[in-house]
């Protein structure tokens, strides 16, 4: 079976090609994270929504005109690289006509992929028109949350905040008294590096591009390492102290979501997070924070109404006080 859809984008072919191939552009409409080796024979791996990774190999690459790549999700249902996606671009007036053809699907797979492509191509149209399609409802409250998909979902929330920070925000105070936004970003780089090393990764800081790009690249390396390692056994933490892997991984979600809130508070921007995700991370925090509070990593719990939104309860549980009302 084959799925075909055409959309019209209000950008030229070069910008349209960038939107469908460059990781920083892909994160504006389709992926949480993306690794792309854009050449014939090069591989890609996209976390499309938390817990769902598409991967394959580029078969044809004609910049500004056409890209063909294998597509699959891994496993027996649709192995990586086992179907074919062809995207063609043609100038059309002041914009670009983009046609996507997905071949090699069963009838059942075609139905599911049609739903997915319709969803994401609509977001592509939004991203082309405005620069960013905004938070994806599919990523906001993914089904069957676990510790790894939670890390990816909270990363998406964090990226949605830091993407819009400006140079003027660098020196703004965050709810953490020792950090302005710049210092908090540096702290986050260190946290991602350390948490990645627990899973055996040497996390690389690209040292270039936007803050959002640096966080996205580093976090993807760390989460990929945790997926490969698994959550069994113990890992070595700071100072050589051993921690259960299933406890250490929780820190990624806590760091991503709390610091997203910190950046949002400092910059006066809104934080978009589902109650389901915030409640899940609160459950993870209840496993981590008591021990860390004894070491001074978290302030005492703050009062909050029992029926307050989950994000407010998470913030209060970790000892934070709002700076502003957003």
* CB-based contact 245:234 (threshold 8 Å): yes
pLDDT tens digits, one per residue of 89-140: 999 989 999 999 999 999 999 999 999 999 999 999 999 999 999 999 999 8
Task: Identify the pLDDT of residue 324.
Answer: 54
Task: Identify the pLDDT of residue 304.
Answer: 94
Q: What is the mean pLDDT of each run of 10 residues along the chain (326 residues)?
A: 96 98 97 97 97 96 98 90 97 96 96 97 98 93 90 97 96 94 97 96 91 96 97 88 94 97 96 96 96 85 94 96 68
302 burial type by CB count under 10 A (0-12 exposed, 13-18 middle, 19+ buried): middle
Task: Identify the pLDDT of residue 326.
Answer: 42
The H-or-E segment that residue 21 falls in is helix 13-21
Residues 6+ apart with CB under 8 A from 317: 282, 285, 286, 289, 301, 302, 304
Rounded Cα distance between 242 and 121, Å, is 45
Would you call 85 helix, strand, or coil by DSSP?
Answer: strand
Task: Identify the pLDDT of residue 292.
Answer: 86
* CB-based contact 311:271 (threshold 8 Å): yes
Query: Which residues does residue 44 pair with via DSSP β-bridges, in sequence order?
Result: 36, 56
Rounded Cα distance between 21 and 66, Å, is 11
* CB-based contact 13:92 (threshold 8 Å): no
Rounded Cα distance between 32 and 296, Å, is 32
Distances (CA, A) of 263 to 40, 161, 163: 39, 7, 11
Neighbour count for residue 166 (Cβ, 10 Å): 8
**Full set of structural domains in the chain with CATH:** 3-130 (3.30.530.20), 137-317 (1.20.120.450)
Query: Which residues does residue 60 pair with via DSSP β-bridges, in sequence order?
Result: 68
* CB-based contact 227:220 (threshold 8 Å): no
Classify the C-alpha dihedral 117-270-310-150 as positive or negative. Answer: positive
Residues 6+ apart with CB under 8 A from 37: 43, 44, 58
pTM: 0.95
């Amino acid at each position: 079976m084959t799925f075909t859809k055409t959309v019209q984008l209000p950008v030229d072919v070069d910008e349209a090609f960038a939107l469908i191939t460059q990781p920083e552009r892909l994160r504006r409409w389709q992926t949480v994270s993306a690794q792309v080796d854009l050449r014939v024979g090069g591989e890609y791996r996209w976390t499309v929504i938390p817990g769902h990774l598409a991967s394959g190999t580029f078969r044809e690459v004609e910049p500004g005109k056409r890209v063909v790549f294998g597509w699959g999700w891994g496993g027996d249902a649709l192995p990586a690289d086992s179907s074919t996606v062809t995207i063609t671009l043609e100038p059309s007036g002041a914009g670009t006509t983009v046609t996507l053809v997905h071949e090699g699907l069963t009838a059942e797979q075609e139905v599911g992929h049609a739903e997915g492509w319709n969803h994401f191509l609509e977001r592509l149209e939004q991203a082309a028109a405005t620069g960013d399609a905004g938070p994806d409802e599919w990523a906001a409250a993914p089904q069957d949350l676990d510790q790894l998909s939670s890390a990816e979902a909270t990363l998406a929330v964090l990226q949605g905040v830091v993407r819009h920070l400006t140079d003027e925000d660098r020196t703004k105070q965050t709810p953490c008294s020792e950090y302005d936004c710049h210092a908090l970003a540096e702290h986050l780089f260190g946290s991602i590096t350390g948490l990645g090393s627990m899973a055996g990764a040497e996390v690389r800081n690209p040292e270039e591009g936007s803050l959002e790009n640096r966080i996205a690249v580093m976090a993807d390396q760390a989460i990929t390492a945790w997926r490969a390692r698994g959550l069994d056994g113990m890992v070595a933490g700071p100072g050589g102290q051993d921690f259960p892997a299933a406890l250490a991984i929780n820190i990624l979600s806590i760091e991503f979501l709390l610091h997203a809130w910190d950046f949002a508070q400092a910059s006066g921007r809104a934080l978009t997070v589902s109650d389901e995700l915030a409640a899940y991370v609160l459950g993870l925090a209840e496993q981590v924070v008591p021990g860390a509070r004894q070491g001074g990593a978290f302030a005492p719990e703050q009062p909050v109404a029992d029926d307050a939104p989950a994000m407010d309860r998470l913030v209060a549980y970790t000892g934070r006080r709002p700076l502003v009302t957003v």
